[in-house]
Structure 1
Amino acid sequence: MASIETTLHPPRHIQLLRNESFGRMRQLLANRVASHVLFWIVLFGLTALYVSSIEDEWQGPLYNFVLRMPFVVACCYANLYFLLPKFYYPDRLALYGILLLLLILATNAINLFVLEAFADTPLCPQTYEAVSTFTWNNYVYKAFYLVSIVGLTSGIKLSKDYLLEKQKYDAIEKEKLKTELSLLKSQIHPHFFFNTLNNLYALTMKKSDKAPDMLLKLSDLMSYSLYESESSVTSLSKEIEHLRSYIDLESLRFGNKLAITFNVKGPVENKAIPPLIFLPFIENSFKHVATKQGDLFINIDVVVATDTISLQVKNPFVAGRERDRKKGGLGLKNVQRRLALLYGDVYHLEMKPEENLFCVNLQIPLA
């Protein structure tokens, strides 16, 4: 019976991903090697040009380049990829300094022994014989040069690592900020819809003719909250329309018992604003008047300027009824946190009682 050999291959899309990953790694490695090679060529090229301009000949600098470069490079990479990763920590800096000093001194000594060994050969130019011998002056001069190159490469490495860490930290903070903002918006949605559904329930219990209109308004508000609020900003005209729908929705519940004014001053076209940033303040005013008796009113003014937009909300306030205000504080706390995350200190929010009124004044920059 003939045997059949089968070879298992990964799915094509997995194989393509692997090939793409390997290709990126090879490209990254090639770029890294090329940048390092270019760095050393430029560094020793400038050194050679400087020395040759002083001594007016090129054989010495070339000889120095060939016999010095391997030791300088080896010392630098031993520091960059062994000493720095293992010992460059606050509690091990002293040990790192000692080990780096020993590395430099040993590398410099070995290099001078090699230079001296080639001093009597035809490879060594006559002008370079004097600096090839193992003397104190030559040792100190070459050690100083080695220290300067090690310091330069260490500075580049540490600066690069710092920038990479900062980029990672900024990316993490940005993601955390995005997550927190999304969470705050998601916390606002249930709070708002909980109140609205209560209103709808009350109307349906009374078999009010207003219930279908209210349900349609609620559907529009849910659509806006689910889709528009996913982005970081929305058009100001849409946000204003959303506020009008909410106010109309609440007006159905209060009827003639509540006088509402909603004024928008200034151009709203081609302006952007974070979605649902005003709603908690307006919602809070409706919550307050729901517990009051007598003449009820809410005044809402939105003023659009060139670079800023302001919201002012006024509603009746009775001193000593702090419990009513604390009951629904989640929405206001969330929006205050959102304002701090979005604008830092570049916004103004004032919430305070004035005589028998509770006033909210908010000013934010326009996107």
Structure 2
Amino acid sequence: MHSTIWIVVGLFQVYTHTWILRGAAWQVYLVVILFDLPTIAGSYYLFAFFGLPNIYRGKWLNVFICLAGVYTLNTLSNYLLYGWIANTYHILTSVPKALGHNGFLKVLFGENTLLINWSFTLSSLAVPIAGKIVKDMLMVRTKAAELERDNLKLELNFLQAQIQPHFVLNSLNSVYSMVAGTDDEAGGVLLRLSKLLRYALYETANPTIPLVREVDFLREYIALEAVRQHERTTLSFHHDGPLEQFQIPPLLLVTFVENAFKHGINSTYRQAWAAVRVQTTENGVLHFRVENSKPPPDVRRKAINRPVGVGIVNTQRRLKLLFPDRHTLTIRDETNMFIVDLMLQLEPETLATLT
């Protein structure tokens, strides 16, 4: 698509120069296209991938720097190109005269430079930039529609599954009242399980929740697994940095922890381990890291035919829809361990969009 666009722009340049370079040799047209078209393309990509995103984010200083770069690039191009044409073929001599003969810096800040440069470039840049803006708007609307569709599906699934969790939660509370005071360990497990279920049932209906609640959920989940795994497993959970002032989509992180138990610890009866760390900074950067041991090769071979879950795929899709260009996810399969590294930028505008 980009190649087609630049072919069209190149033909447009040839057309416009047929009356600008009347009677010139064909070599002049070739030099103009080979010199001018890369300048226009460079100006477009500079503005499309640096200027426009900053306009969308309201970072006007960066927009000004981008425009200054485009202006300088086109000024230099015109200064070199039309000076060469005038000196070599003795045509268009009025353009170099208007630009001046006192060096590039004089041209860059000359009073005639702005009119001459933009008259040659804006006509060619207007259509591609307008197309880029329309494409960006369509992509935003498409992502919003996809997100709304997914939210509706999740809401429907939540409503359909609501009766059974209510029944389980009430049953857990009844069993807890029976064992409380007689078996402290069983009572603690039931209490943790009840907290996890209540969180999944009631607090995940909102688009975002406080990050501290998500971290508490992870802590309770790992504590419950620690009781179930007993002595054969070493588990650790740490968090550093502020939590209260940030929001996050619910159940976004737990999938990676679940996989650490499902594909790492629960796949072997031997000693295993897992480590989870949550770090946040004052400006809203969340670093989430999960490391877990790999089962022995003979166990892994037996598990080859195990169905692949969709949890990671769904989480990656949620990250792509909710945090476009604001996250990096790395999953590494190393010799003795699996590593998940997630960097997430919790920006105020992101939170406003989510809520």
Taking structure 1 as the reference length, the TM-score comes to 0.45
For the pair shown, which has the larger CA radius of gyration, 1 or 2? Answer: 1
